[in-house]
A and B are shown apart, each in its own frame.
Chain A
């Protein structure tokens, strides 16, 4: 069974608008971590933000925030005031306490239009 689901293969957004990238996950482990990575066309994976399953507050890092809804098993990434440089693939990933390894979703390709 797929553990991380990203249902949006592609998204197109106007510059300066906010954008939400969806991510749902499936786990029976009560302790887990959720990550978002950005992958530009150059290929490197850039860490953006982390949310722990026991964290009380939603994570924020600059223009990035994570809308964590534990009961719905969703961990959507919100990018405020989008910029042209935000155009890239975005991957949601989960690490279960027991498994240790990261499991990635299929990714969402975000395109910011001027």
Chain B
């Protein structure tokens, strides 16, 4: 069974530029999560989808971050415009249902200069 796929693996941009990350969850998983992991810290949930609906986006900086999961499968996370403090690893995870174990992708390491 294929795991969670993410792309790109690495991205370097300048501040005020925009960037987008893509995630394809494990086949059949209804719930999809985006986490931000700043160096030296544990991951922090940004947004959670159940199918194509948002369950929790309370920690998403909505003035610059957006995410969508239009067909209930893959998802895109966008930052526009990026700030220096957005430098982090962005992890995507999926689970079969909301209470099930979450499985993570390899992450996208973002560096904002």
Contacts and interface: CB of A to CB of B under 8 A. Distances in A.
B32 interface: no
Given A47-B103, A106-B42, A100 B109 contact: no
Interface string A29-65: 0000101010000111111001000000000000000
Contact of B45 (A46, A102, A106): A102
B23 interface: no
A45 B104 contact: yes
Contacts of B14: none
Interface residues of B, number: 23
A93 interface: yes
Bin the interface of chain A by size. Answer: 20 to 34
Contacts, number: 52
Nearest to A105: B42
Interface string B88-111: 010101000011011111110100
Interface of A: 4, 33, 35, 37, 42-47, 50, 91, 93, 95, 100-107
B56 A100 contact: yes
Interface string B80-91: 000000000101
Contacts of A45: 43, 91, 93, 104, 107
B55 interface: yes
A91 B41 CA distance: 10
A35 B40 CA distance: 19
30 contacts: A33-B99, A35-B102, A37-B104, A42-B106, A43-B89, A43-B106, A44-B104, A44-B106, A45-B93, A45-B104, A45-B107, A47-B101, A47-B104, A50-B101, A91-B43, A93-B42, A100-B48, A100-B56, A100-B98, A100-B99, A101-B33, A101-B45, A101-B56, A102-B43, A102-B45, A103-B45, A105-B42, A106-B42, A107-B41, A107-B42
